[in-house]
Amino acid sequence: MLSDTYQHTFIDVVLPLPLPGTYSYRVPAEYVSQLLLGKRVIVQFGKQKIYSAVIWRIHHNSPIAGKVKEILSVLDEYPVVNEKQMQLWEWIASYYMCSLGDVMSAAMPAALKLQSETRILLHPLHDAYTQPLTDDEYLITEALLSHHALTIRDISLITDRTNVFPLLRTMMDKKLLLAEEEIKEKFKPRLVEYVLLEPQYVDDENALGLALNTLEKKASRQAECLLVFMKTWFDSDRATEGILKSQLSGVTGFSDAAYKALLKKNILVSVKKVEGRMEAYEGTVSAPALLNDIQQQALTLIQTQFEEKQVVLLHGVTSSGKTEVYIHLIQEQLNVGRQVLYLLPEIALTTQIITRLRRIFGNRVGVYHSRYTDYERAEVWQSVLSGKEPGSDKEGSGYDIIIGARSALFLPYSNLGLVLVDEEHENTFKQVEKTPRYHARDAAIVMAGIHEAKVLLGSATPSLESYRNADSGKFGKVIMSERYGGMELPEIVIANLKEAARKKQLSEHFAPLMIDEIQKALGNKKQVILFQNRRGFSPRMECETCNWVPQCINCDVTLTYHKFAGNLRCHYCGYSMKMPSHCSACNDTKLTLRGFGTEKIEEDLSTYFPEARVSRLDLDSVRSRNAHAEIISDFEQHNIDILVGTQMVTKGLDFDHVSMVGILNADNMLSFPDFRAHERSYQLMAQVSGRAGRKGARGKVIIQTYNPAHYILQNLVDGDHQNIYDKELDERMRFKYPPFSRLIELTLKHKDYKTVNMAAATLGLSLTAELGNRVIGPETPYIGKIRNHHLSVILIKIDEKSSPSAVKEIVQKQITTMNQLKDFKGVQVVRDVDPV
Ligand code: ADP
Ligand code: ZN
Ligand code: ZN
């Protein structure tokens, strides 16, 4: 009787692997009571491998085919993935045409995805000597004291257990062990410099007076410098932590040389402090700044629009004070006990925002992005999950504001009230380099829907997509058209390169106007930002006789010359070769460099402005984890006069002393072969211009071009952004490009040129049979070979009337069919939905 009604329990789990769908396992009776959706279980997959997988469904339907394995154990006491996350994962998998396993791989820190190959290390701060250890724990710690690392498989052997995951989890909780990914990159904090008065002078005015007198006679500059410090310090009510060096730099009378002399004479002291990221904030917290009328109006308007719309676009010019408005919205959510996610397009931007938010919200602010070590990320994950600060047992002490880049979307929020997407137009919100190729802004809107939360998109240069959504009434829209404090937007002036070249007035790549304005800014002790969207020294080298150009051996691209490294390098695969001494086609030795990148600009600046302190911000200069923050902080503290960089310098940073911005070559942006080239160049130029003149006097922007009549440039000069949007939207409508259609880009890859083209032709035909003229291609893309893989691209345009999900189903089916053909099994198809 009993055996008839007894039902086995099964679960479907998601494995962190790029496999379609979920996998079923049977649950032994002893574990059934522990089952909950979102907990991890340990399962065997394949012949040998062991994984932690997430429970997705619990049911009693015996899978029909094959023998079902049993789970080995249940790993968690509480779910690590909540049901709202599960809904988001489902949406991402279906919308972006990938598997749940792909989403899991992207969404969870490695520490939560243990598998048999994971290497285990001793925690650097372990206290194995003071804690009581079980026999197994002792065995493992002993083994790790003599071996640097062990795989989970090794540990199984040592302890003679098939399933060591629960044991490892306990040891990780006790901070005895770490998974290797967790500490690949060591956390190195950013330093800020504070200036203090030498203690002996602090309470002895006579001594100070005497010192000052001496200085005035012998070193008047130092005296002046000291007075600047004293005034600022008194203004701060004699702040015990001293005065930020960055606050003094740039003040008239304060010079670096005099400051250094005062340090030497032991009158001033400099203290470098860690501006922590994970470190607890110990400064005082203060109330949000009072909003001015424009900000207050914007805030009220956002609030009323939120009553009807889920998403509002805040279109506010650079430095209009959007961030302060965000702060008020955040406060509102915290007051009603809901969480806030603050998404930024770039890790680099987080540092400044963290500092600003922590001054108001203190330790309620958490940070999450891919530059954090996996260990740090797992900590933030657990903190959001448990509502407790890392390392604390106090309920409600956890982060309720998370600042982060893309991946912060994946944290286990339970009660989100608001998502802020700052600089919403940035294409870095789209993951391009690997599946699931999601757009964080769009996924955030879906996630907010799941939480019944609101979304505020902020930008000075909204994407055409959001702009149109706001115009059509799908999103609310609020405009802030003035800078905070009535600062004028910078004056934009075109420097005509054609004319300068004709008159032979060019100094390398600088027009006379550019040189003059840089000189002027430096003369006024101001800072300069120069933007060039190419890194390296020269984008190509060419034979003067036969026009031979060195190419990458793996990719279909020319090599870029990097002078400092002394080599030619491929920006797609990293291949590099030594500078050739002669042409490999005709043997001539006359090789010239053409075009210019950031490295060349940096070098030229030292010729034309030998006294200026120049630094460079691009992918090459920020290879190490903290280089970026250091350069930014140096610039903030006015230890750099001119900052040259790629796109990295355009992003929403707030510097006080930048009076002039130079754009060295507008033309290569405007002529880039992509339907978004105009939108992109406009956004880049408007954004980088926005760095000028945020405080003090009106800023100036010089744009160099051979094509001064270009309508984007003309409209920028006139400040007519409306016209740019109108014109671009017109074009897009005419050619049925987004936002008037949706795109799916399929990229086929294979080592063999013929195979990829045949596969693409086959897929193209079958898609066209079903989807008609929505299918464009196959075509060899602009760069036809990358890392020895030949590429072919098929574009699918889905008009506004068609159902994207129906089209995706057809596309998926045809890809599968193509991949089943014997010759095309090895052809990889990358699906990119809404490519940017
Ligand atoms: P945006 O985010 O629009 O670029 P920010 O919020 O960074 O602009 O504001 C620009 C500058 O003006 C910042 O230095 C900020 O501190 C200052 N600011 C903005 N609003 C206020 C306010 N209400 N009170 C004091 N300072 C403000
Ligand atoms: Zn040649
Ligand atoms: Zn290459």
CA distance 500 to 604: 18
Q: Which ligand is nearest to the CA of 548?
A: 2
Atom of ligand 1 at shortest range from CA of 485: 12
- 472-498 burial, b at 16+ Cβ within 10 Å, e below that, comes to eeebbbbebebbbeebebbebebbbbe
In the predicted structure, residue 501 carries a pLDDT above the cut 50: yes
Task: Provide, rounded to the nearest whole percent, the portion of the chain with pLDDT above 70.
Answer: 93
Q: Is the dihedral of CA 751, 755, 758, 763 positive or negative?
A: negative
pLDDT the model gives residue 833: 97
Angle at 518 (CA atoms; ends 516, 524), nearest 5 degrees: 105
Q: Which ligand is nearest to the CA of 543?
A: 2
Residue 617 Cα to ligand 3 middle (Å): 23
Residue 321 Cα to ligand 1 middle (Å): 4
Q: Residue 713: CB partners within 8 Å, gap ≥ 6? A: 494, 666, 670, 703, 705, 707
Lowest mean pLDDT among 192-196, 221-225, 308-312, 576-580: 192-196
Atom of ligand 1 at shortest range from CA of 422: 2
Ligand 1 in reach of 291 Cβ (< 6 A): yes
User: In 3D, which of 93, 28, 17 has the Cα closest to residue 53?
Assistant: 17
* HEC per residue, 618-659: CCCCCCCCCHHHHHHHHHHCCCCCEEEECHHHCCCCCCCCEE
Residue, of 7 and 456, whose pLDDT is higher: 456
Residue 691 Cα to ligand 1 middle (Å): 13
DSSP conformation class of 160: T
Give one DSSP letter per residue of 309-365, joined into a string. -SEEEEEE-TTSSHHHHHHHHHHHHHHTT-EEEEE-S-HHHHHHHHHHHHHHHGGGE
- Copy the structure tokens of residue 306: 């939120």
Q: Is the dihedral of CA 422, 426, 430, 431 positive or negative?
A: negative
In the predicted structure, residue 118 carries a pLDDT above the cut 90: no
Give the environment of ion ligand 3: residues with CB less than 5 A: 552, 554-555, 570, 572-573, 575
Q: What is the mean pLDDT of the chain?
A: 87
Q: Which ligand is nearest to the CA of 590?
A: 2
Mean pLDDT of the 15-38 span: 92
Mean pLDDT of the 293-307 span: 97
pLDDT the model gives residue 512: 95
Tell the residue nearest (CA) to atom 14 of ligand 1.
Answer: 654
Tell the residue nearest (CA) to atom 17 of ligand 1.
Answer: 321
Task: Provide, rounded to the nearest whole percent, the portion of the chain with pLDDT above 90.
Answer: 50
Tens of pLDDT, residue by residue over 145-201, are 777 788 888 888 888 887 788 888 888 877 788 776 543 333 333 467 889 888 888
User: Quick check: helix, strand or coil at residue 168?
Assistant: helix
Ligand 1 in reach of 289 Cβ (< 6 A): yes
CA distance 11 to 6: 16
Which residue shows structure tokens 């060349």?
Answer: 600
Ligand 1 in reach of 295 Cβ (< 6 A): yes
- Copy the structure tokens of residue 609: 């402005």
Out of 457, 484, 488, mutate this one to test ligand 1's pocket (max ligand atoms within 8 Å of CB): namely: 484
pLDDT the model gives residue 110: 78
Instruction: Specify the amino acid at residue 836.
Output: V
User: In 3D, which of 579, 553, 551 has the Cα closest to residue 565?
Assistant: 579
pLDDT the model gives residue 378: 80
Q: E strands within 573-622?
A: 576-578, 591-594, 614-617
Out of 318, 319, 424, 655, mutate this one to test ligand 1's pocket (max ligand atoms within 8 Å of CB): namely: 319
pLDDT the model gives residue 334: 94
User: In 3D, which of 641, 699, 629, 674 has the Cα closest to residue 795?
Assistant: 674
Residue 596 Cα to ligand 3 middle (Å): 19
Which residue shows structure tokens 């040129």?
Answer: 753
Ligand 1 in reach of 322 Cβ (< 6 A): yes
Atom of ligand 1 at shortest range from CA of 356: 16
Backbone φ and ψ of 272, nearest 5°: -95, 125
Mean pLDDT of the 572-594 span: 86
Is the CB of residue 110 less than 8 Å from the CB of residue 379?
no
Tell the residue nearest (CA) to atom 20 of ligand 1.
Answer: 321
Mean pLDDT of the 799-814 span: 93
| Alpha carbon 798 to its chain's center | 29
User: Quick check: helix, strand or coil at residue 401?
Assistant: strand
Neighbours of 429 (CB within 10 A): 25
pLDDT the model gives residue 554: 85
Residue 425 Cα to ligand 1 middle (Å): 20
Q: Which ligand is nearest to the CA of 654?
A: 1
CA distance 367 to 379: 11
Tens of pLDDT, residue by residue over 700-719, are 999 999 999 999 999 999 98
Ligand 1 in reach of 369 Cβ (< 6 A): no
Atom of ligand 1 at shortest range from CA of 480: 3
Tell the residue nearest (CA) to atom 6 of ligand 1.
Answer: 321
In the predicted structure, residue 414 carries a pLDDT above the cut 70: yes
pLDDT the model gives residue 350: 77
What's the predicted TM-score (pTM) here? 0.79
CA distance 298 to 316: 10
In the predicted structure, residue 126 carries a pLDDT above the cut 80: no
Q: Which ligand is nearest to the CA of 574?
A: 3
Mean pLDDT of the 82-103 span: 96
* HEC per residue, 215-271: HHHHCHHHHHHHHHHHHHHHHCCCCCCCEEHHHHCCCCCCCHHHHHHHHHCCCEEEE
Q: Residue 65: CB partners within 8 Å, gap ≥ 6? A: none
In the predicted structure, residue 123 carries a pLDDT above the cut 80: no
Residue 551 Cα to ligand 2 middle (Å): 13
Residue 178 Cα to ligand 2 middle (Å): 56
Instruction: Specify the amino acid at residue 100.
Output: L
Q: Which ligand is nearest to the CA of 588?
A: 2
CA distance 643 to 632: 9
Tell the residue nearest (CA) to atom 15 of ligand 1.
Answer: 321
pLDDT the model gives residue 279: 58
Is the CB of residue 815 less than 8 Å from the CB of residue 601?
no
Residue 569 Cα to ligand 3 middle (Å): 8
Ligand 1 in reach of 430 Cβ (< 6 A): no
Ligand 1 in reach of 321 Cβ (< 6 A): yes
Atom of ligand 1 at shortest range from CA of 291: 23
Ligand 1 in reach of 573 Cβ (< 6 A): no
Residue, of 191 and 95, whose pLDDT is higher: 95
Tens of pLDDT, residue by residue over 216-244, are 888 889 999 999 998 888 887 787 778 88
Half-sphere exposure of 42 (CA within 13 A, CB side): 20
Atom of ligand 1 at shortest range from CA of 690: 4
Tell the residue nearest (CA) to atom 23 of ligand 1.
Answer: 291
Tell the residue nearest (CA) to atom 18 of ligand 1.
Answer: 321
In the predicted structure, residue 392 carries a pLDDT above the cut 70: no
Mean pLDDT of the 81-93 span: 96
DSSP conformation class of 569: E
Neighbours of 512 (CB within 10 A): 13
CA distance 696 to 385: 45
Atom of ligand 1 at shortest range from CA of 460: 3
pLDDT the model gives residue 77: 84
- 116-131 burial, b at 16+ Cβ within 10 Å, e below that, comes to bebebbbbeebebeee
pLDDT the model gives residue 540: 79
Ligand 1 in reach of 458 Cβ (< 6 A): no
Tell the residue nearest (CA) to atom 10 of ligand 1.
Answer: 319
Mean pLDDT of the 66-74 span: 85
Ligand 1 in reach of 320 Cβ (< 6 A): yes
Residue 753 Cα to ligand 2 middle (Å): 28
User: In 3D, which of 653, 645, 640 has the Cα closest to residue 692?
Assistant: 653
- Copy the structure tokens of residue 648: 């990295």
Lowest mean pLDDT among 46-55, 427-436, 471-480: 46-55
pLDDT the model gives residue 188: 38
Mean pLDDT of the 344-369 span: 85
Mean pLDDT of the 465-485 span: 94
Residue 538 Cα to ligand 2 middle (Å): 18
Residue 507 Cα to ligand 1 middle (Å): 38
Confidence of residue 457 (pLDDT cuts 50, 70, 90): very high
Mean pLDDT of the 797-810 span: 92
Tens of pLDDT, residue by residue over 621-678, are 776 656 777 888 889 889 999 999 988 887 757 788 999 999 999 998 898 878 899 9
pLDDT the model gives residue 496: 95
Lowest mean pLDDT among 52-66, 487-501, 817-831: 52-66
Q: Which ligand is nearest to the CA of 580?
A: 2
